[in-house]
Structure 1
Amino acid sequence: MSLELLRAALGWSAILNLLFVSVWFALFRSMHDRMYAMHSRWFHLSEETFDGIHYAGMAGYKVATWLLFILPYVALRLAA
């Protein structure tokens, strides 16, 4: 695999992952009550716990995207 192909794959992966977490956030904000009602049927969670789980999930996803895609992409752009 060439460096250019690796850079392109990392760049597109970063864009898709950031798009995914943005859609997740938008759906969470716009459909919060419906999502909570659906999940509260399956799990016995308070609304605060439900919100905390989602926000922690989004934060972890963004950190993983930065560490696994964006920073390696930037390092490859600076190195070559």
Structure 2
Amino acid sequence: MDINGLTDFFMWCTILNAGFLVYIALMCVLFPNWIYQVQSKWFSISKEAFNIVVYAFVGLYKLFFIVFVLVPYLALLIIE
């Protein structure tokens, strides 16, 4: 795979992961009670613990997105 193919790959990874991150954030902001109701049917968890888990998941996902997708894409753009 050449550098252009790798750049295209990371570009699409960035677009898809950023879209997913925005989707998750919007769902958590706009429909937090609905998400909790759906998840509490599957798992016995308090509302406070659920909020902590969701906040940690979104933060960890954002961190992994930046480190493993966005930074390599920006590095490829710089060296291209």
TM superposition score normalised by structure 2:
0.89
Question: C-alpha root-mean-square deviation of aligned residues, in Å?
Answer: 1.2
Identity %: 28
Q: Which residue of 2 aligns with 1:65?
A: 65
Structure 2's unaligned 5+ residue stretches are none
1:23-61 Cα distance to aligned partner (Å, 9 max, x none):
011112211111111211221211111111111111111
Matched pairs, number: 80
* Partner AA of 1:62 in structure 2: K
- Separation in 1, partners of 2:5, 2:79: 15
- Separation in 1, partners of 2:7, 2:66: 14
Runs ≥4 residues deviating over 3 A = none
Q: Which residue of 1 aligns with 2:9?
A: 9
Structure 1's unaligned 5+ residue stretches are none
Look up the SS of the partner of 1:19 in the other structure. helix
- Separation in 1, partners of 2:35, 2:29: 10
